[in-house]
A = this chain, B = another copy of it.
C-alpha cells in the first residue's frame, strides 16, 4: 500500500496542507492538495498544491519564483491534514507580497494588518493577476 492510500482524502479528493517555515516555525499559508499534487510535491521536493479556483495543479512559485522547498512532510493522527516544513525561497509566501498569508490579527473586534508588504505584488506577478 502506498503512503498516499493512508490519507483520508475529503469528498473532493483533497487534503488541507499547511506550509510552515522549517526554521522559524512560522505558518506561511494553508492550501489544498489532491493525490497527484502531493505525490509530485514529494517527487519534486517542492510544494505543489491543487488550485480549487482554477481546477489545476499549482506549482507554488512557478510565476513568482517563490518556490517552497520541501524539507519534511507530516501527517496528523486522523490522516486528514498534512504539514509541510518548507524553505520559502524569497521569504515571501503570500500573493500580497508578505512573508505569511496570516498577516491579520483580531484586535478588539477588528482584523488588523500587522505585517508589512515586503515586495509590491505587481512586481511579483508579471501578468497582474492576484494568484499564481
Contact = CB atoms under 8 A, between A and B. Distances in A.
Question: How many identical subunits does the complex contain?
Answer: 2
Nearest to A131: B78
Contacts of A24: 25
B25 A26 contact: yes
A88 B75 CA distance: 20
Interface residues of A, number: 36
Which of the listed residues A2, A3, A74 has the most CB atoms from chain B within 10 Å of its own CB? A74
Contacts of A3: 106, 109-111
Closest 5 A/B residue pairs (Cβ): A25-B25, A76-B101, A74-B102, A30-B81, A73-B106
Which of the listed residues A105, A106, A110 has the most CB atoms from chain B within 10 Å of its own CB? A106
Interface in A1-31: 2-3, 6, 16, 18, 20, 24-27, 29-30
Contacts of A98: 77
A55 B77 CA distance: 20
Interface of A: 2-3, 6, 16, 18, 20, 24-27, 29-30, 42, 72-78, 81-83, 94-96, 98, 101-106, 109-111
